[in-house]
A = this chain, B = another copy of it.
Amino acid sequence: MLPPKSEFSEWYHEVIQQAEIMDIRYPVKGLYVWLPFGFKLRQLVYSKLKELLDRDHQEVYFPTLIPEELLMKESEHIRGFEDEVYWVTHGGLEPLDVKLALRPTSETAIYPMFKLWIRSHADLPLKVYQIVNVFRYETKHTRPLIRLREVTSFKEAHTAHRNYEEAEEQVKNAVNLYKEFYDSLAIPYMIFKRPDWDKFPGADYTIAFDTVMPDGRTLQIGTVHHLADNFAKTFDIKYETPDGDHAYVHQTCYGISERCIASLISIHGDDLGLVLPFEVAPIQIVIIPILYKGKERDVMELSKRLYERLKPFRVILDESDERPGAKYYKWELKGVPIRFEIGPREAENNEVVVSFRDEKRKFSVDFDHVTPEKVFEWGRNLKERLKRRAIESVRGRILICRDIDEVADAVERRFVSLTYSCNECEKDLESYGSVLGEMFERPEWIDVRLSDRCVMCGGKGYLVGVSKTY
């Protein structure tokens, strides 16, 4: 049995294991094992992400090991990472001549090659991505999919452009791509421009996607960085302009980790376990025959006919010996979106009982009406319901705050506080919680009716978020 989702931390810890996403018993802190079911979910979610990127990015793979000299080259960058880098110092029984870092992220591995690849303006824009494992020596509390020492599924994209403006255009493209990705998972998000002190080390600025977890803490689920020509200068990445001059490229990079799966599990799940959108569910449909002595044949026959018809989907016909109740429990835990039950009455009437993972009700439909088109329609409707419910629940953890006491109180009670601040005062808000930064784009489901005056000094302000974060 799962703890209720209202005890979110315990629920999360248990659902990861009981739904067979990961085995958390690997004997090193912050490292976990992807179980087959979890791995399949990962694959389906990342297929969606790849599909979006493949429209105009090329997939590559760079080495995991980065020599010390390269990693250290960009001074701001390394200052941001030096406490978290794992160092390989020995090969076999011998010390290495050159220390090698396990990539915490791949800018310093990729950009020396960009220098070799980019010659002229015709080589631009250059857009590549890779999905790789990256490593962080986390000293804080670790948690599966959320805070890891090996991030096994880091999708990082890297682009190079002719100038600041074209790179900025790409920042917008990347933001739109991530919006499309999270919309496809029915995950609500807010988009902020991070304050300067919290931007990616080496970036000009950072745009971040945050969602709100059921306990009211925000989870950063994607970041897009405008790098300007900061790395280009460090790694000497120049191109020949149409006029024959030489100029530094301007770059962007943007990443999503398996936190996208943490959010999927956390936002949609309920007291019974996972609730998954149809498109990414490892098992989309389960058919459960309800057998009574003497009536088995007809029930099994109709069940098998349904199974055959739905084979284009990821469908299971659960013929095991368990009681129906135990089967419901098991497949609910795994978030199977659509369940069919077929008993003697259904067999007799040529119908099936349908229920959806997110609803309590069951209903009967004529067997012949269960077509693949109908199933797709049910899948789409389910996602729409999940999206509405998710927005409802996220919105319920956000408070619009008119003064600083409200901000303090909101964050204290684990709500996300939206309020107005200004460049001068933003930093002071850090004493109340983490400042998420200036809202980059207001989601339509957030309605803010406030004066735009900074909550601290009363000067002209902009909308910012303050929260406890993961």
Instruction: Please list the residues of chain A having a beta carbon within 8 angstroms of any beta carbon in chain B.
Output: 23, 25-28, 31-36, 39-40, 42-43, 58-65, 67, 70, 82-93, 98, 100, 102, 109, 112-113, 116-117, 128, 133, 135, 137, 139, 149-150, 152
Q: What residues on B are CB-neighbors of A135 within 8 Å?
A: 64-65
Q: How far is the CB of A93 from chain B (nearest CB, A)?
A: 7
Kindly state the separation between the CA atoms of A35 and B114 in the bound complex, as whole angstroms: 12
Please pick, from B34, B63, B90, the residue contacting A61 in the complex, using a CB distance under 8 A.
B34
Which residues on the B side are within 8 Å of A102 (C-beta)? Answer: 88, 102
A86 to B117, CA, bound (A): 30
Set of chain B residues within 8 Å of A83, measured between Cβ atoms: 92-93
Q: Tell me the minimal C-beta distance from A139 to chain B in angstroms.
A: 8
B63 in contact with A28 (CB, 8 Å): yes
A154 CB to closest chain B CB (Å) equals 13
Distance of A273 Cα from B66 Cα, bound (Å)? 31
- A59–B42 Cα gap in the complex (Å)? 11
A93 near B86 (CB under 8 angstroms)? no
Counting every copy of the chain, the complex holds: 2
B90 touches A86 (CB 8 A): yes
Contact A60 B36 (CB under 8 A): yes
The answer to whether B23 touches A150, judged by C-beta atoms less than 8 angstroms apart, is no
**A86 in complex: contacting residue of B43, B63, B70, B88, CB < 8 Å:** B88
Given contacts A61-B39, A62-B26, A150-B63, contact A84 B89 (CB under 8 A): no
The one of B33, B60, B89 in contact with A87, judged by C-beta atoms closer than 8 angstroms, is B89
> Which chain B residues lie closer than 8 Å to A117 at the CB level?
23
Contact flag A82-B92 (CB < 8 Å), given A100-B28, A113-B26: yes
**Which residues of the other chain, B, contact A109 by a CB distance below 8 angstroms?**
26
- Measured between alpha carbons, how far is A311 from B165 in the docked complex, in Å? 35
B89 in contact with A90 (CB, 8 Å) = yes
Q: Which residues of B contact A89 (CB under 8 A)?
A: 87-90
B84 & A92 in contact (Cβ 8 Å cutoff): yes
**Cβ contact within 8 Å between B39 and A60:** yes
